[in-house]
Amino acid sequence: MARSSYLLALGLVLLGLGTGLGSGVAQERREGAAEEGDLPATLIADSVSYDRETGQLTAVGNVEVLYEGRVLRARAITYDERAGEIRATGPISLSDPESGVMLAGNAALTPDIREGLIESAQVLIGEKLQIAAAEARRSEGRYTTLYRAVASSCVICAGNSTPTWSLRAARITQDDVARRIYLEDATLQLFGWPVAWVPRMSVPDPAVGRASGVLFPMARHSDIYGFGVKVPYYRVIGPSSDATLTPFLTSSGAKLFEGEYRQRFDSGGFDFNGVFSLDDGMEGEFGRGAAFATGAFALDDFGFGTGFTTDFNLAVASDDAFLQQFDYSDADLLTSYARLTRTRSNDYFELDSLAFQSMREEQASSTLPVVPLTFTYRGLMTPERIGGQFGVEAQGLSVVRADGQDALRLGGALDWRRSWTLPQGVLASAGAIGDFDMYRVWDDPSFPDQAMYRAEPNVNVELRWPFARTAASARGVVSHVVEPIMQVIWSDTIGEFDVPNNDSTLVEFDETNLFALNRFPGEDRIETGLRANLGATYTRYDPAGWSLGAMLGRVVRATPDEAFYESTGLAGKWSDMVSALRLDIGRELSLVDRALFDADLELTRNEFMMTYLGDSGGLRASYIYLAESDNPYYGPQPETNEFGLDARYRVLPNWEVRGLWRYDVVARENLRTGGGVIYGNDCAEFDLSVSRRHTSSNNVPPSTSIGFSVRLAGLGGRNGRQWPAARDCAAWPS
């Protein structure tokens, strides 16, 4: 018989018997269905027969029953109208949009396929979690209970059936409504070995993106706090908010409580996390901890006008040792800020507040500045008569200290700049700036108790002469660009020169500010005098996929600028020589070197960075050298000579190793060392790490930390990165 489609009005009366109606009512419903077109189900089979005496309908060959999104596929089925039961002969496949896909040998189901008993069941949930059971039962249209079951999300081969992880349970119940899976008398096995037993547990359905529950514990060990365990609890609060609460207990007696809260809105969102100690395990101190928060919002819907955005960062700790003692951070300075900005094509506005907290034992946070308010506004216009671009700027800064100077600065600037293209391709530009500031200082006897005024005129000319050359090769076109650059600048200070310096205490001279009009990082100090910035750049683009860039230059002055101290490289008539070299090979490899040479061509500063990011691993190598110097604001600075390595390499498809090394060449000692190994596959990730901090302070001695974490995909977690399956089933005999 040709394959056909039969409506259950022909004999498979699912709706009537499924709701407990008698056979007479069912028959009436069946006849009405044919007239009204209200057909409860569809049967597809190669052949269908109906026995009127026994009331049994039999379908054989590629049988499919479709009912309200559920699909039953079987080799053959028998529908007993009087018993209200479907008996299916395997292999059977039962697909349900709520519970997933189930494979079985034989089954006895209700007509609506919502309830029944299933033998030799295999369930696939969320296309990830597999459960095999000797027997399964569907009940109440929402529960699937599997007896003597094994669950795993790993690839299981016929020749090697031991998965990376599995859960063996006396009973596993899937709740389609609550979207959770409940296990009873469950044993967790790793690589076939039992490692944990729990009488009852529940995990979210793998198809659920976010679900509340206990996450996998994390183990750590440190020389300071001993052995510690973190057990995170994740809570879904709403569709755009969640929280994670993590008790942290250690063998030294420390009892810490970590928390994280995340909230998202249409206009932005924020994250808050912190840690609080009930007992630090050292001196039994209560209340030590830290708090961090970040967030950003677009303010179009809050009445601020179009284009305004705000962002903030909070970082605060109870003391300067807590973060290092418990392996949270090695930062020596915590910065908090709140910022309001708007950027448009012709103007820019920024409003900030900043605060700092020192983590250095020799530096008191009371001496650090707090900036209650700083603002900047810059607008651009294009005057038709004189051409070019005209700018207007207003800015202000307020600084207060618990112990030390308080200051206020208000100022503004007017500037103009215009560019031309001269014969032979020379690019020329000229500009003028008029800057003015007012200062007021408190709690500092070295400054007068009155307002101070300062103005700074600036005129400048710049010439660039780019030369480009292209050459054809077998690989394509090679291009070379050489560009000599010269700037001539004159600026001066009118009025008070010795004003408070809060934002220009640390000057760095490199290729990024070689052609800057003012090389001080802030507004409190202005570069003055007649000077010329001289330099040249070279760039090569190769069709093989690599490029090379280089820069060399220095500054020459008519008279030295005494505002620059010796170690800046800008003191004297001739500055130090600045150079930069960058090599990029494809997207994987990048090498950058930045150097500063004095008049005798001896290095006073050198920074090198190499970065490699490939499919099988990555490497970041760095080297920094800073010659011994004397900073008038921070005092003598010792020589810095350090290099570091940070690498990872996937030695095998499922194994990755990583290492970390920081070394002080001057002291001839390690600063930090560490390493780790990760094993990962399609269903699990195991991460073991070891790190050693070799530096010490009065509060925090050198220490070694060990961490271990486990992620099991399909069991309330997901891998940190993509991994191949643990094995290729094609390599195993079936």
pLDDT of residue 11: 38
Q: Which amino acid is at 415?
A: D
Classify residue 272: in a domain, yes or no: no
Give the chain's end-to-end CA distance (angstroms, integer).
36
Inform me whether the pLDDT recorded for 176 exceeds 50: yes
CA distance readout (Å), 39 to 9, 18, 62, 106, 129: 7, 14, 21, 26, 34
pLDDT of residue 8: 40
Classify residue 52: in a domain, yes or no: yes
| Mean pLDDT on 420-441 | 95
Classify residue 342: in a domain, yes or no: no
| Mean pLDDT on 315-339 | 93
| Mean pLDDT on 425-436 | 96
Classify residue 3: in a domain, yes or no: yes
Query: In this predicted model, what pLDDT tens digit does every residue of 614-635 receive, in sequence order?
Result: 988 999 999 999 999 888 888 8
Phi first, then psi, for residue 475 (nearest 5°) are -90, -15
Inform me whether the pLDDT recorded for 99 exceeds 80: no
| Mean pLDDT on 379-393 | 92
Beta strands 467-473 and 640-652, pairing class: unpaired
| CATH classification at residue 51 | 2.60.450
Lookup: tokens for 12:
């498979």
Inform me whether the pLDDT recorded for 535 exceeds 90: yes
pLDDT of residue 566: 87
Inform me whether the pLDDT recorded for 471 exceeds 50: yes
Calpha distance 623→239 (Å, rounded): 46
Q: Which residue has the higher pLDDT, 415 or 14?
A: 415
pLDDT of residue 303: 64
Calpha distance 545→585 (Å, rounded): 6
pLDDT of residue 192: 87
| Mean pLDDT on 474-484 | 89
| Mean pLDDT on 108-129 | 83
pLDDT of residue 666: 92
Classify residue 487: in a domain, yes or no: no
Q: List, in order, residues 6 or more apart from 645 with CB less than 8 Å away.
A: 619, 620, 621, 659, 660, 661
Q: Which residue has the higher pLDDT, 14 or 108?
A: 108
pLDDT of residue 36: 32
* Short-list 298, 297, 337, 300, CA closest to 315: 337
Classify residue 41: in a domain, yes or no: yes
Percent of the chain with pLDDT over 90: 55
| Mean pLDDT on 343-347 | 92
pLDDT of residue 7: 39
Query: In this predicted model, what pLDDT tens digit does every residue of 184-226 receive, in sequence order?
Result: 999 999 888 999 898 998 888 877 778 888 888 899 999 999 9
Query: In this predicted model, what pLDDT tens digit does every residue of 222-281 receive, in sequence order?
Result: 999 999 999 999 999 999 999 999 999 999 999 999 999 999 999 999 999 999 999 998
CA distance readout (Å), 339 to 261, 265, 305, 370, 411: 21, 19, 16, 14, 20
| Mean pLDDT on 93-106 | 83
pLDDT of residue 307: 86
Q: How many CA atoms lie within 13 A of 156 on its CB side?
A: 18
Q: Place 284 in a pLDDT band, splitting at 50, 70 and 90.
A: confident
Query: In this predicted model, what pLDDT tens digit does every residue of 694-727 receive, in sequence order?
Result: 988 767 888 999 999 988 887 765 656 778 887 6
Q: Place 330 in a pLDDT band, splitting at 50, 70 and 90.
A: confident
Residues linked to residue 390 through DSSP beta bridges, in sequence order: 381, 416
Calpha distance 715→154 (Å, rounded): 11
Q: How many structural domains does the chain have? A: 1
Q: Place 32 in a pLDDT band, splitting at 50, 70 and 90.
A: very low
- Mean pLDDT (the chain, rounded): 87
Query: In this predicted model, what pLDDT tens digit does every residue of 516-527 receive, in sequence order?
Result: 999 999 999 999
Calpha distance 335→411 (Å, rounded): 25
Inform me whether the pLDDT recorded for 693 exceeds 60: yes
Inform me whether the pLDDT recorded for 54 exceeds 60: yes
* Coil/strand/helix, residue 327: coil
143, 123 contact by CB (below 8 A) = no
pLDDT of residue 511: 93
Q: What is the pTM of this model?
A: 0.80
Classify residue 273: in a domain, yes or no: no
* Short-list 413, 476, 473, 401, CA closest to 441: 401
Q: Place 159 in a pLDDT band, splitting at 50, 70 and 90.
A: low
Q: Place 138 in a pLDDT band, splitting at 50, 70 and 90.
A: confident
Domain limits for position 91: 1-114
pLDDT of residue 9: 35
Q: How many CA atoms lie within 13 A of 328 on its CB side?
A: 23
Q: Which residue has the higher pLDDT, 127 or 557?
A: 557
Classify residue 417: in a domain, yes or no: no
125-134, 292-301, 315-324, 504-513: least confident range: 125-134
Calpha distance 601→586 (Å, rounded): 33
